[in-house]
Amino acid sequence: MKRKERYYQTMLSTGDVARIFEVYPGTIRRWCAEGRIRSYRSGPRACRRFLREDVAVAYLDRSFQKYFRNHNNHPYASRS
């Protein structure tokens, strides 16, 4: 097996990422188009693949945003 193929096998699929975020796969594809999460295209069908590190960063970012939205009295919450 080639090194590049082995590398892509350790990456997550769109379905894997959708299960992590508890959203539909279409939502993950939209987030990719919006630039909210980074993806790589691989294989003959150009399937999206995601590095675990990129998914972790996006997950933390989403968690922080949800936290601050739900805690308006937090000193770091943005005041509108």
Surface-to-core class of residue 1, CB atoms within 10 Å of its CB (0-12 exposed, 13-18 middle, 19+ buried): exposed
The pLDDT value recorded for residue 45 is 76
- Asked if residue 61 is part of any domain, the answer here is yes
Judge whether 42 lies within some domain: yes
Mean pLDDT of the chain: 81
Q: What pLDDT was estimated at residue 73? A: 62
CATH number of the domain at 57, please: 1.10.1660.10
Cβ contacts of 12-15, under 8 Å, gap ≥ 24: 12/49, 12/50, 12/51, 12/52, 12/55, 13/47, 13/48, 13/49, 13/50, 14/39, 14/47, 14/48, 14/50
pTM of the model: 0.71
Reported as a single tens digit per residue, the pLDDT across 9-57 is 678 999 999 999 999 999 999 999 999 999 888 777 778 899 999 899 8
Question: Domains in the chain: how many in total?
Answer: 1
Q: Is residue 5 over pLDDT 80?
A: no
In a domain, residue 79? The reply is no
pLDDT value at 4 more than 60: no
Please give the structure tokens belonging to residue 50: 């995601």
Residue 18 lies in a domain: yes
Find the domain containing 61 and state its range. 3-70
